[in-house]
Amino acid sequence: MTGYAKTFVLMAALTALFMGIGALLGGGTGALLAFVVAGAMNLFGYWNADKAVLRMTGAREVTAQSAPEFVGMVHRLADAAGMPRPKVYVIDTDQPNAFATGRNPDNAAVAATAGLLRRLAPEEVAAVMAHELAHIQNRDTLIMTVTATFAGAIGMLANFAMFFGGRDRPGGALGTIAVMIFAPLAAGLVQMAISRSREYEADKVGAAICGNPMWLASALKKIDAFAKGIDNDAAERNPAVAHMFIINPLHAFKRDALFSTHPATANRVAALEALAAEGKRWGKVGVAARGPWE
């Protein structure tokens, strides 16, 4: 199934979920209203969700004039991978992290936090950005971005149940409680299903783009350690975008791995170490993508 087909299926599923919540809250009228809203969100999600996500995370665009080394590195990586050059953004938070967004490779953006640029070695930054370019190349970004906007909306709709639910609503108080509990859970499970399998593939492709799997393995270990102790305020305010980051930016208590939006970092590192152990030459792409530190 192509990326566009998967996105269509996801949009249809989330629309149905949205309508189901609307029906619980307002019966037939609620379902119809939810359908209209979902239709508008589908259109918005396809054309503008990337801009919404960038605003939600507080990302600001940088250029070759304002951030020459970082932008130049991203451009070299994209050129080496034979991709269009994405727009480049920086998020003013100390937690090292990064994500990619956009509906296709011709309309894409990558974003890194100030903490990533400050706390990681240049080759590790390159590996992280190569991972994000891999998401763009694999056409993951559309489905991830649309999911972020829908999941946020579903969570808001569930919260409305607290104020507008009642015995006179279909399903009564029990229906309201069910919406409040299961709607965010359903949205979270969709995020989980999208993220987990895609991260491994983006790690593999990103290692090929940057030229060295161990650069990315080292970066993942550092980001994971820092993320556990440094808040990402924008992500905490908008948890629906958490699945887009290379490492989960949210703080959480120990919980079953089933409910994690990302694979375990140790498993990702092990997979990258296995790639490096194969003895494969990571030649021309890596050489072309190297940065000013060499």
pLDDT at residue 123 in the model: 96
As a whole number of angstroms, the distance between CA 202 and CA 223 comes to 16
- Tens-digit pLDDT string for the chain (294 aa): 555 566 666 667 767 777 777 776 677 787 787 777 777 766 666 666 688 889 989 999 999 999 999 999 999 999 999 999 999 999 999 999 999 998 889 999 999 999 999 999 999 999 999 999 999 998 887 777 667 666 666 666 666 655 555 445 555 565 566 566 666 666 665 665 566 778 999 999 999 999 999 999 999 999 999 998 999 998 888 877 888 899 999 875 444 344 567 889 999 999 999 999 886 555 444 444 444 433
Q: Which SS3 state, helix, strand or coil, does residue 212 take?
A: coil
Beta bridge partners of 61: 89
pLDDT at residue 292 in the model: 40
Q: Which SS3 state, helix, strand or coil, does residue 245 take?
A: strand
Q: Is 230 exposed, middle or buried (0-12, 13-18, 19+ CB in 10 A)?
A: middle
Residues designated as active site:
132
Phi, psi of 133, deg, nearest 5: -65, -35
- CA torsion sign, 113 to 118 to 122 to 123? negative
pLDDT at residue 286 in the model: 47
pLDDT at residue 288 in the model: 42
